[in-house]
């Protein structure tokens, strides 16, 4: 499959999961794929402050806000914001003087996120439609870029990371939760589209991820595995800083 077909497969799958959640179900990113970690990475206090729908449609493999180091007044951007759980949590942490953006390409997910924002009373969150390979924000306009198990879904991860670096202000922070593949992931898994939309087949290796961060001009990069999500992949918290 070419890049456009991969993107459409991902969009279609996550649109379907958004509908499942709004109809009262609990979404899961792929049959038999353990990386669908859901809301278990969040504390009871965090979840209790949000609508149940936000948890039901949580499809991340971790909690990027653990390494985001958010401060009041900051601007934060969530790449592939889905149902909005990380945007809403971030909006609360940066406070009224700050701003939290969510970027997603799926209309169904955007509708869920905006509904969750309205129900939770969060007024400093804004959800944008677009692809994470082409972020619709100006250069140096964001203090922190977060993402939760989404960059692995992109067919062009180098561009995603370069775009994240572009919108970060000098001294800004890249802080994501993502799946990292072992060096020996087999070709059969890599070619399985269900494993791709399930967050495994498209994952970068640790070395590839670090190289992309370096090539984008980000420094002090760290990759810390939190748990295994597949025999050949683990969920990791990944952080880096834009110089200056």
Q: How many helices (H) and strands (E) does the chain have?
A: 10, 8
CATH number at 208 reads 3.40.50.150
Angle between helices 3-22 and 107-120 (to 10 degrees): 40
Q: Model confidence over 88-128: pLDDT tens digits?
A: 999 999 999 999 999 999 999 999 999 999 999 999 999 99
Helix then strand then coil, % of the chain, to nearest 5: 40, 25, 35
Q: Model confidence over 178-203: pLDDT tens digits?
A: 999 999 999 999 988 888 888 898 99
Give the per-residue pLDDT at 193: 84
| Average pLDDT, rounded, for the chain | 90
Give the per-residue pLDDT at 2: 86
Mean pLDDT of the region 17-33: 63
Structure tokens at 53: 């729908």
Range of the domain at 129: 3-241
Phi/psi zone of residue 47: left (φ > 0), alpha (ψ -120 to 50 degrees), beta?
alpha
Q: Model confidence over 145-172: pLDDT tens digits?
A: 999 999 999 999 999 999 999 999 999 9
Structure tokens at 42: 């969040």
**Contact in structure between 217 and 235 (CB atoms under 8 Å):** no
Structural domains counted in the chain: 1
Give the per-residue pLDDT at 129: 98
Q: How far apart are CA 220 and CA 54, in angstroms?
A: 32
Give the per-residue pLDDT at 66: 85
Residue 185 — φ and ψ, nearest 5°?
A: -55, 135
- Is 205 in a helix, a strand, or coil? strand
Give the per-residue pLDDT at 32: 45
């Amino acid at each position: 499959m070419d890049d456009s077909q991969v993107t459409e497969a991902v969009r279609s799958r996550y649109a379907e999961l958004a509908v499942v959640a709004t109809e009262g179900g609990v979404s899961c990113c792929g049959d038999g794929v353990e990386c669908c970690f859901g809301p278990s990475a969040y504390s009871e206090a965090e979840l209790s402050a949000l609508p149940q729908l936000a948890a039901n449609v949580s499809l991340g493999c971790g909690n990027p806000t653990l390494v985001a180091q958010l401060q009041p007044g900051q601007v934060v951007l969530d790449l592939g914001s889905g149902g909005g759980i990380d945007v809403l949590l971030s909006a609360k942490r940066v406070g009224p003087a700050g701003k939290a953006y969510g970027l997603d390409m799926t209309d169904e997910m955007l509708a869920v996120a905006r509904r969750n924002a309205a129900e939770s009373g969060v007024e400093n969150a804004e959800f944008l439609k677009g692809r994470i390979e082409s972020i619709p924000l100006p250069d140096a306009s964001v203090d922190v870029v977060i993402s939760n198990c989404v960059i692995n879904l992109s067919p062009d991860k180098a561009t995603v990371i370069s775009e994240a670096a572009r919108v970060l202000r000098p001294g800004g922070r890249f802080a994501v939760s993502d799946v990292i593949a072992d060096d020996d992931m087999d070709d059969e898994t890599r070619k399985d589209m269900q494993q791709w939309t399930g967050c495994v087949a498209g994952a970068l290796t640790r070395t590839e991820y670090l190289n992309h961060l370096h090539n984008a001009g980000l420094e002090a990069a760290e990759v810390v595995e939190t748990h295994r999500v597949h025999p050949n992949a683990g969920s990791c918290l990944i952080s880096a800083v834009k110089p200056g």
